[in-house]
């Protein structure tokens, strides 16, 4: 069976924050079957995560382009990969059957042709929504390990998170709350500020775009120093840039 497959591309490289106008959709004919004897798998993508490091891949220049292969620059007008959750629609691999739910790194499209090595694991039944696997399974225990290594919650009880809504930052912030810390996040919109305070349980949050320079931002954050002992600044993800 042949279908029209839609996939996302960037029109050109850019600087600064991404805009909707920088992206486009293209289509191509796509066959929903695999060749006999091959191990290929066809997946219908259900949930896709575009993380901060992916934004750096779209930029004109970024130091991360030469760091690891996963951070290499994306070519305009070409399909690119992203963390996905999908359902198997056809399989030549005995390990994966039709209708299996899988998570991995697939083409950012409606349908993807997948090699076994691109699949992280099958997803079994769980008590939380399917999309949550992108936030939990991908980062695994890294947030707690990083926090335990870099922070000292027994001594320093107040933490300011620079990127509290990326996959690492929001989990580290919640871990800090569980350990009894006072947790503050800075975000890029009032909607995100509300999400941090009302949904994720942060004690306070502010919109960093309301402050035009470093001095005014530090002035906004200064009451955290005065209110209690110590302030620890954590980056949610080391892959994001300006």
How do residues 61-108 score in pLDDT, each as one tens digit?
888 888 777 788 999 999 999 889 999 999 999 999 999 999 988 999
Q: How far apart are CA 129 and CA 147, in angstroms?
A: 26
Q: In whole numbers, what is the pLDDT of the chain averaged over residues?
A: 82
Q: Taking 70 as the threshold, does the pLDDT of residue 224 lie above it?
A: no
In a domain, 131, yes or no: yes
The arithmetic mean of pLDDT across residues 20-43, rounded, is 93
In a domain, 110, yes or no: yes
The arithmetic mean of pLDDT across residues 149-162, rounded, is 77
Secondary structure (DSSP) of 78-121: S--EEEEEEEEEEES-TT--TT-EEEEEEESBSEEEE-GGGEEE
The arithmetic mean of pLDDT across residues 16-22, rounded, is 91
Q: How far apart are CA 57 and CA 59, in angstroms?
A: 6
Domain count, the chain: 2
Three-class SS state of 148: helix
In a domain, 74, yes or no: yes
Residue 14 shares a structural domain with residue 134: yes
Residue 158 shares a structural domain with residue 128: no
Contacts of 217 (CB under 8 A, 6+ apart): 186, 208, 211
How big is the chain by its Cα radius of gyration, in Å?
21
The arithmetic mean of pLDDT across residues 152-173, rounded, is 78
pLDDT of residue 75: 93
- Interstrand relation of 41-48 and 119-122 (parallel, antiparallel or unpaired): unpaired
Q: Specify the CATH number for the domain of residue 95.
A: 3.90.180.10
Q: What percent of the chain has pLDDT over 90?
A: 36
Most confidently modeled of 124-128, 158-162, 192-196, 208-212?
A: 192-196
pLDDT of residue 17: 86
Q: Taking 50 as the threshold, does the pLDDT of residue 242 lie above it?
A: no
pTM of the model: 0.65
Please answer whether residues 82 and 100 qualify as being in contact, where contact means their C-beta atoms are separated by less than 8 angstroms.
Answer: no
pLDDT of residue 142: 65
Full residue range of the structural domain in which residue 132 is found: 2-138
Half-sphere exposure of 8 (CA within 13 A, CB side): 18
Residue 191 shares a structural domain with residue 92: no
Q: Specify the CATH number for the domain of residue 159.
A: 3.40.50.720
Higher per-residue confidence, 141 vs 49: 49
Confidence of residue 176 (pLDDT cuts 50, 70, 90): confident
Residue 26 shares a structural domain with residue 131: yes
In a domain, 238, yes or no: no
In a domain, 232, yes or no: no
Higher per-residue confidence, 15 vs 225: 15
pLDDT of residue 112: 95
pLDDT of residue 241: 34
């Amino acid at each position: 069976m042949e279908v029209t497959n839609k996939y996302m591309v960037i029109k050109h490289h850019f600087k600064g924050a991404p805009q909707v106008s920088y992206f486009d959709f293209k289509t191509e004919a796509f066959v929903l079957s695999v060749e006999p004897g091959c191990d290929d798998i066809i997946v219908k993508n259900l949930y896709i995560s575009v993380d901060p490091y992916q934004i750096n891949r779209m930029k004109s220049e970024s130091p991360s382009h030469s760091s690891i292969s996963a951070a290499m620059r994306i070519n305009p007008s070409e399909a690119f990969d992203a963390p996905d959750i999908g359902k198997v629609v056809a399989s030549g691999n005995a390990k994966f059957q039709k209708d299996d739910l899988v998570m991995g790194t697939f083409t950012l499209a409606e349908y993807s042709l997948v090699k076994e090595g691109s699949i992280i694991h099958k997803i079994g039944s769980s008590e939380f929504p399917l999309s949550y696997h992108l936030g939990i399974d991908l980062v695994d225990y890294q947030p707690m390990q990083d926090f335990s290594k870099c922070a000292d919650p027994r001594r320093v009880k107040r933490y300011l998170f620079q990127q509290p809504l990326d996959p690492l930052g929001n989990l580290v912030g919640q871990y800090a709350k569980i350990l009894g810390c006072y947790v503050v996040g800075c975000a890029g919109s009032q909607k995100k500020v509300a999400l941090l305070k009302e949904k994720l349980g942060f004690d306070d949050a502010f919109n960093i775009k309301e402050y035009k320079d470093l001095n005014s931002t530090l002035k906004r954050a200064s009451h955290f120093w005065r209110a209690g002992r110590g302030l620890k600044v954590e980056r949610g993800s080391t892959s994001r840039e300006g």
